[in-house]
Structure 1
């Protein structure tokens, strides 16, 4: 079906439909800045790129529209949705609550091996921060949150966070700079270190500060 499926394999879960895979491919292009806010997404271009028909591409765009990533404009087509500051703050508040719940549910599950893995995730994110690599840092920071959810072992939290994080990643791609990243990472590091010390109240407070620094 696809001439080149390498772009579609990252983060795909077993059993995903073709439109879901295409939606993730388009989302990746948006997050990485290949398609910018307000820019039209041309179905024909995507279908040619992936060597598929336009029908699954159209369905993929509908899935992204449901998630609030794109919007359909009469007589113009589908564009990447620009987000207001109010919308970003609302999504950010949701993400904060979900991560704090993940930290809460993870209590009692941080044995030595899990802590070592969390420490490794932090080291990788710190390395990207020190390189001033904003885009790669965003991905590594999100992996820390995903790991916390995996320890919490709550699929519902992970699913809800996935939806909110898509919006925040699109926003961060266009709005973050090195200073934003460094301020965010300072608080994220303190949160992770608090988890490693089993101080979950502090960990939740620092997550609140970290994400607020990412959107203000």
Structure 2
């Protein structure tokens, strides 16, 4: 069920099933901070809020539970999963190491068409940043970085990237109100793309690490 559901699903223009739409709705509220870590999710209340039955809400819960975003606790019900600073650091380290592997596997597979696509992803991300639409900007960045794994043609890397970024993106707080700092971080995304276009893969890895460590921070509640 929902094999292709990932963080980028938030903005994709596909016809999603009702459970997928509800999962996206909940994930978005977590991402923008309307739902906090440890906050209880009541099936009937969400169903009433969205004017749907409890069944698709329950199915959406299972999807988000499988991605590590929410958890079901005995006698406490379903809650937004809490994540410690150490756990977030571990996920960040894993994401950086995974990206390095993805780059290594992709080095011989870049051609003009793929490079042009990567540059187009950067243009689309920049457009959202200029609009100050941080949610869509982060989704565009997610797709851009994920494209490296598509070029690498390694299905395991693509799955691991999806699994890790569910956590890191959902719980990161990127100083939403400070667009200038987000723009400063954007320069590393530009550097990443430029490095790959010019086959400087070592520089691409370095740019990704700086971008990731500066962008991902856990807001302790």
Q: Same fold (TM over 0.5)?
A: yes
The 1-side partners of 2:174 and 2:214 are apart by: 15
CA 1:178 to 1:150, structure 2 compared with 1: closer, same or farther past 3 Å? same
Query: Equivalent residue of 1:72, what SS?
Result: strand
Query: Equivalent residue of 1:79, what SS?
Result: strand
Q: Which has the higher contact order (CA 8 A, sep 6+)?
A: 2
The 2-side partners of 1:120 and 1:47 are apart by: 39
CA 1:35 to 1:192, structure 2 compared with 1: closer, same or farther past 3 Å? same
Q: Deviations over 1:66-89 (max 9, x none)?
A: 432112345442221232221111
Query: Structure 1 residues 187-196 or 71-80, which shifts more?
Result: 71-80
Asked if the contact 1:135/1:173 (under 8 Å) is kept, the reply is no
Query: Structure 1 residues 81-90 or 56-65, which shifts more?
Result: 56-65
Partner of 2:57: 57
Partner of 1:143: 143
What is the TM-score normalised by the length of structure 2? 0.78
Partner of 1:169: 169
Partner of 1:207: 208
Q: What is the number of equivalent residue pairs in this alignment?
A: 208
The 2-side partners of 1:199 and 1:27 are apart by: 35
Gaps of 5+ in 2: 1-8
Paired residues for 1:21-60 under 5 Å: 22-48=22-48, 53-60=53-60
Partner of 2:186: 185
CA RMSD for the aligned pairs? 2.9
Paired residues for 1:22-171 under 5 Å: 22-48=22-48, 53-171=53-171
Query: Structure 1 residues 149-158 or 61-70, which shifts more?
Result: 61-70
The 2-side partners of 1:20 and 1:13 are apart by: 11
The 1-side partners of 2:55 and 2:44 are apart by: 10
The 2-side partners of 1:190 and 1:74 are apart by: 47
What is the TM-score normalised by the length of structure 1? 0.80
Q: Deviations over 1:125-170 (max 9, x none)?
A: 1222334332221111111012222211222111111111111111
Gaps of 5+ in 1: 1-7
